[in-house]
Amino acid sequence: MTTKTILVIGTYDTKDDELDYLAGVIRNQGGQVLTMDVSVLGDPTKPTDFSKHDVAEAGGSSIAEAIATKNENVAMQIMGKGAALLAARLYREGCFDGTIVLGGSMGTDLALDVTSALPLGVPKYIVSTVSFSPLIPPERLAADTQMILWAGGLYGLNSVCKASLSQAAGAVLGAANAVEKPDLTKPLIGMTSLGKTALTYMVALKPALEERGFEVAVFHATGMGGRAFESLAAQGAFACVFDFCTQELGNHIHGSNISAGADRLTNAGIVGTPQIVSAGCYDLVDIVGWQGLPDKWANHPNHAHNRLITSIVLDNDERAAVARAHSEQLQTAKGPIAFLMAEHGFGEWDRKGGDLHDQDGLDAFLNELQATLPANVEAHKVAGHINDAIFADTALAIFDDWCARGIVKS
């Protein structure tokens, strides 16, 4: 096993004892350490590998400019930008294998910038006084970020905070030693779905695509799964996407916290990846079940999926808004798009005879989609349900045609 290097980031003017402790644990476990200071006003007790001046300059600014703002929020955003850009460059140059960032709310804000700048598969650990807090919006979390509460460590070392710090140091080094990063040299299909009680197309499609020589990764479209999907799409990791469950887009436009972010359904298009798209479970908005039902949903049918998720059934106007959102997100795509319009429904429960079957609502969605889909999207009407064999067969026929024409690269 080769020795792994961990990039340790924090404000060394105020937290050098804690950061040095983290570095010591990593070294004692056989790792190497690079240090990055993101302080503004003070200086560390001993030099770091990358100084606060290096950080500010990496973001196109300077410590003098940060101080001149006389605003700690603005100053730390300057440092956050610089730290993210510098960390991304250092990783591309092969300087480190994983990173750990320590901080309070200010340091956590910066840590979210840094971890989001690094690719999926790079071990990322945040030690924070606000870990798992509602202060942290889901869209700012890199899909594979790990966090631990910095318990009892606000001011100085003690046995309580050492328990958290030592776990974090061991975890990030262990992850760097064990990680199998995505092999982006293989032809990879990105697919989105929910559990098999709602959507089943992946059961037929995954083995069929694997027989064609492609690897298939299916992402659970419940917020963070979509974040991971979009992160890889932005890297150009996919040969083609089968983005059939876009419910997170509806969640986002209707204000749910279960969101993959405002860029859902855009990143594959930005890099020109071929997309076969549909709208699995478009008629539902999932909300955080344990927070109670917001007033806006009071008159809507709903279903408690479990203690974490409650599903709201949308009315016709809300479904039409979801259709328009699909069209808006897809209109700037640079690659080919085929949209599969399942005329008999988009989720197991909305089949004819199902508990959520609503023909008027389905028609409202399909009609709005048909009216608003941009010219760069090829619409395919499927005379069946999203979970019927005809849907998977239609997707495979489009895919095979694209492969034969060289649109999908194998």
What does the alpha-carbon distance between residue 200 and residue 195 come to, in Å, rounded to a whole number? 8
Crossing angle of helices 201-211 and 389-404, in 10° steps, is 30
Predicted local confidence at residue 181, as pLDDT: 81
State the pLDDT confidence band at 293, using cuts at 50, 70 and 90.
Answer: confident
Give the model confidence (pLDDT) of 243-255 as tens digits: 999 999 999 999 9
What is this structure's pTM?
0.85
The domains found in the chain, sorted by start residue, are 5-178 (3.40.50.12020), 188-404 (3.40.50.12030)
State the pLDDT confidence band at 151, using cuts at 50, 70 and 90.
Answer: confident
CA angle 262, 265, 269 (to 5 degrees): 120
37 forms beta bridges with 10
What does the alpha-carbon distance between residue 278 and residue 323 come to, in Å, rounded to a whole number? 11
Predicted local confidence at residue 199, as pLDDT: 97
What does the alpha-carbon distance between residue 124 and residue 331 come to, in Å, rounded to a whole number? 34
Structure tokens at 169: 């140091």
| Whether residue 154 has pLDDT greater than 80 | no
| Whether residue 59 has pLDDT greater than 80 | yes
State the pLDDT confidence band at 156, using cuts at 50, 70 and 90.
Answer: confident
Tally the residues of the chain: 410
Give the model confidence (pLDDT) of 343-389 as tens digits: 999 999 999 999 899 999 999 999 999 999 999 999 999 999 999 99
Q: Are strands 337-342 and 275-277 parallel, antiparallel or unpaired?
A: parallel
Give the model confidence (pLDDT) of 67-122 as tens digits: 999 999 999 999 999 999 999 999 999 999 999 999 999 999 999 999 999 998 99
- Within a 10 A sphere around the Cβ of 168, how many other Cβ atoms? 25
High-pLDDT (> 70) share of the chain, %:
100
Structure tokens at 312: 């709201």
Conformation bin of residue 120: beta by default, left when phi > 0, alpha when psi is -120 to 50: beta
3-state secondary structure of 381: strand
| Whether residue 326 has pLDDT greater than 80 | yes
| Whether residue 291 has pLDDT greater than 60 | yes
3-state secondary structure of 28: helix
Top pLDDT among 289 and 215 is at: 215
Structure tokens at 286: 């999932």
High-pLDDT (> 90) share of the chain, %:
84
1: closest CA among 32, 34, 35, 33? 32
| Whether residue 211 has pLDDT greater than 80 | yes
Predicted local confidence at residue 1, as pLDDT: 57
Give the model confidence (pLDDT) of 18-45 as tens digits: 999 999 999 999 999 999 999 999 999 9
Predicted local confidence at residue 96, as pLDDT: 98
| pLDDT, mean over the chain | 95
State the pLDDT confidence band at 155, using cuts at 50, 70 and 90.
Answer: confident
In sequence order, which residues have a C-beta less than 8 Å from that of residue 200 and are 6 or more positions away? 348, 387
